[in-house]
Structure 1
Amino acid sequence: MVDGEPSLTVLGELVVDLLPDPGGDAGPHGTAPRYVAAPGGNALNVAVAAARLGAPVTLLARLGTGPLAAPLRRHAEQSGVDVGRFVAATEPVSLAVVGLGDDGSAEYGFHVAGAADWQWTDDELAAALPGTTAILHVGSISAWTPPGCEAIARLVERVSGTLLVSVDPNIRPMLAEGPVGASLGNDADAVRRRLQRLMLHADVVKVSTEDFAWLHPGADPDLGTSVWAERGPALVLMTDGGRPLRVARPGRPLLKREIPQVPVVDTVGAGDSLAAGLFAGLLRRGVATRAALAELTDDELVAVVDEAALVAALNCTRAVADPPTRAELDARRDLRPGR
C-alpha cells in the first residue's frame, strides 16, 4: 500500500560520462582529445528526466568517492530528484568514455572495476525504499553485476505484487561478457539468468532491439515482444532507434508507434528519457498499480507512449542526456505522431 502521493523510485548506478568535445583541440600531435564530463547512467538519467516532467522521484544510488561525485548529486538535486536516500560509499564512481558516430549513436568504453554501484547490500536496500513508491525501476549494469545484483533481485522479489516493477536490461556487452565482464563476475549466461530472475517479477519491461538481440540471438523482435508480454509483464516496450516502437500487452495485438522525427545531436539518454516519460505519464493519469495499467485502453496507453517517445526525441536534439522539462514538452506537442 502506497503511503502518500504515489511516486517513482529509481534504483541503479551513477556514471560520469566523458564525451568528446567537438570544438576541442586535440593538441599539436592530435593525441590529446578534449572531453567533457557529464552526469549519466541509466538510473540518474531516468530519475532526472521524470523529475523534470513533474513526477515525484526518489533516486536510490550508492554515491562513490572522488571529485566527480558531488556534480552527480548536484545534477539530480537541481532537477528536483529526492537524493535523501543516497548511500555514501567508499568505492569509486563509475566512469564511461563515450564515442559518437556520425549519426549521433553512442559507443561506450567503461572504467568500472570495484565501483560503488555494484556493492548494494540487503541492509542498505531494506532501509532505502520510500513508502510512497508506486513504481520501482531497476535495470542496467547494477541489476546484473555482482554482488549487488543479488540484493536488488531479492528486493524486487520482496515487493513484487505490491507495486509496479519496471526492468530495463540496458545491456553493455563489454561489461556483460568477455575479459572485462569476467573481471566483474559477469558472463553472458549468468547475465541472462540474472535478468530472467528480475523479469519474472516485472510489470513493465523497456528493452531495445540491440538488447533483445543480445539476449535472444536471431529471434524476431515482433514475435519476441509479444512472447515476452505473455510471460508475465503487463507492458513491454521495445525501442528500435529511429524506427517505430513496439508495444505489447498480454492477450492483445502488437502495436507499433511512429516516433517523432527530429534533428539528432546524439542519442545519449534517449531510452532512459523514454522510460521516464512513460512513468511520468502513468503517474499523472493515476496509474499506480498493475491492475490500473491493465485497465488502460489501447488509446489511453498509446497517448502515454507517444508522449514518452516525444520526451526521448527532444532529448536527442541536445548534447548528452538533457531531457526536456514539462514546459518544453508541452511546447513541442506538434511533433507527436499524427500531427
Structure 2
Amino acid sequence: MITVCGELVIDLIPSGDPTPGAPPQYTAFPGGNALNVAVAAARLGATTHLMSRVGPGPFGALLREHAAGNGVATDAMLTAPEPVSLAVVELAEQGSASYSFHTVGAADWQWTAAELTAAWPADTRIVHIGSISSWTRPGSLAIADLVRRVRAEGTALVSFDPNVRPTLIDDDEAVRTQVTELRRVADVVKVSAEDLAWLEPGADLDEAAARWAAEGPALVVVTDGGEALRAARPGGAVLRVQPPSVTVVDTVGAGDSLAAGLFAGLARTGVLTSAQLRDLPEPELTALLDDAALVAALACTRPGADPPTLAELAAARR
C-alpha cells in the first residue's frame, strides 16, 4: 500500500572511540531517506515498495539485501550504472548527526519519466517522496511530474519531506521554489524545524504549519527534535504532540522513522484519502502522531537508521 521513491545512501558512521593519531574507523550502514522510510514502514507491518535506482558493487548489494531482509518489496528497485551515494556522518556529544555527502553523478538523481512509469507499483495508496532526490535535477523533475499526476488522479495520498541538505545545494532559490511547489501538491507534508529555518528564515513554527496547511495539504507536521511537534490541517488549530523522552544514541533516521510511523498508522486505520485525513477526529489524529513520535524516539535509542518493529512498538506502548 505504501510506495517510497527516493535516494539510497550508505551512511559511514564513526565506530568506537577515536584514538589520537590513528585514522578514524567507520561502519557502513544502509541509509538514505527513501530506504529508511521504507524499512521502517515494513517493520511496522505495512506492505511497502521501494522505488529507487541502485548503483553497482558491494554497496548496491548491501542496500538491496537490507531492503529485502526487512520485508520491503524490491520489484521497483532498478539496476543503474551510476555509483551509490555516500554520507560520512559526524556525531555530536548528544548524538545529533551532521553529514558530509559524496553524491556527484550518483544513481539517485537520474530518474526518467519512462523509468518511473515502468517501476510504479499499481497497488500504491500512499506515495512518499522527499529529501535530495526531490530537488536534485534531472530526476527531480520526473518525480515532481509523477506526484502531480497521482494527486490529480486521487489514486494515492502524496507525502513530501523536503529534508534539506544545504551543502548539496548550488541554487538556493531554485530549491526553495521546488519545495514550495511540491508541498502544495502533497496531501501530507513533514518538515523539520531545521529545514524550515533554511526554507523560511525567521518563520514561527506554529504560523508556518498553519499557513502551509492552508496552501494545499490535508496535514502538515513540523518536527523539532525532542520538543513538541506541530500538526496543522486546513482551517484548524495547530495541534502539539510531545515526543517521549529517551536516552539518545544518535538521531540518524529519526525523522524518516516518524514519517513511516505515520504512514503505517494511516494504512492500518484506512485513512487513505485527503478528505478522510482532513475530517479525522482530533483524538484519532493525536493517537497516530503519538505512535509516530514513539517510533522515532525508539529509533534514536540505537545506532544508525534502525527503526523498531511492530512488536517493539507495541511493547513500548505498554
Partner of 1:173: 166
Partner of 1:4: none
Partner of 1:314: 298
Q: Distance in 1 between matches of 2:278 and 2:212?
A: 16
Identity, in percent, stands at 60
Tell me the secondary structure at the aligned position of residue 205 of structure 1: strand
Tell me the secondary structure at the aligned position of residue 72 of structure 2: coil
Q: Distance in 2 between matches of 1:288 and 1:221?
A: 26
Q: Which runs of 5+ in 1 are unaligned?
A: 1-6, 177-181, 335-339
Partner of 2:15: 21
Q: Distance in 2 between matches of 1:239 and 1:199?
A: 16
1:10 aligns with 2:7: no
Q: 1:289-328 CA deviation, whole Å, 9 max, x = no partner? A: 1122122100000000000000000000011010000000
Partner of 1:259: 243
Letter of the structure 1 residue corresponding to residue 259 of structure 2: A
Q: Distance in 2 between matches of 1:272 and 1:314?
A: 12
- 47, 50, 56: which one pairs with 2:41? 50
Following superposition, the deviation at residue 194 of structure 1 comes to 1.2
Letter of the structure 1 residue corresponding to residue 108 of structure 2: D
Partner of 2:151: 160
1:220 aligns with 2:204: yes
1:59 aligns with 2:50: yes
Q: How many residues align?
A: 316
1:86 aligns with 2:77: yes
Following superposition, the deviation at residue 22 of structure 1 comes to 2.2
Following superposition, the deviation at residue 67 of structure 1 comes to 1.8
Partner of 1:241: 225
Partner of 2:105: 114
Q: 1:246-268 CA deviation, whole Å, 9 max, x = no partner? A: 01001110011111000000000
Give the ranges of 4+ consecutive aligned residues of structure 1 lying more than 2 Å apart after TM superposition.
none
- 131, 139, 146: which one pairs with 2:122? 131
Q: Distance in 2 between matches of 1:175 and 1:18?
A: 17
Q: Distance in 2 between matches of 1:229 and 1:292?
A: 15
- 152, 176, 183: which one pairs with 1:192? 176
- Relative to the length of structure 1, the TM-score reads 0.92
Q: 1:90-147 CA deviation, whole Å, 9 max, x = no partner? A: 0000000000000100010010000000000000001111111111100000000000
Q: Distance in 1 between matches of 2:309 and 2:21?
A: 38
Q: Distance in 2 between matches of 1:60 and 1:201?
A: 20
Q: Distance in 1 between matches of 2:272 and 2:205?
A: 28
Tell me the secondary structure at the aligned position of residue 185 of structure 2: coil
| RMSD of aligned Cα (Å) | 1.0
Q: Distance in 1 between matches of 2:256 and 2:64?
A: 18
Q: How does 1:299-338 map to 2 (within 5 A)?
A: 299-334=283-318
Q: Distance in 2 between matches of 1:206 and 1:152?
A: 18
Partner of 2:192: 208
Letter of the structure 2 residue corresponding to residue 130 of structure 1: P
- Relative to the length of structure 2, the TM-score reads 0.98
Following superposition, the deviation at residue 51 of structure 1 comes to 0.1
Q: Distance in 2 between matches of 1:145 and 1:290?
A: 27
Q: Distance in 1 between matches of 2:292 and 2:35?
A: 17
Q: Distance in 2 between matches of 1:78 and 1:319?
A: 18
Q: Distance in 1 between matches of 2:144 and 2:130?
A: 10
Tell me the secondary structure at the aligned position of residue 195 of structure 2: helix
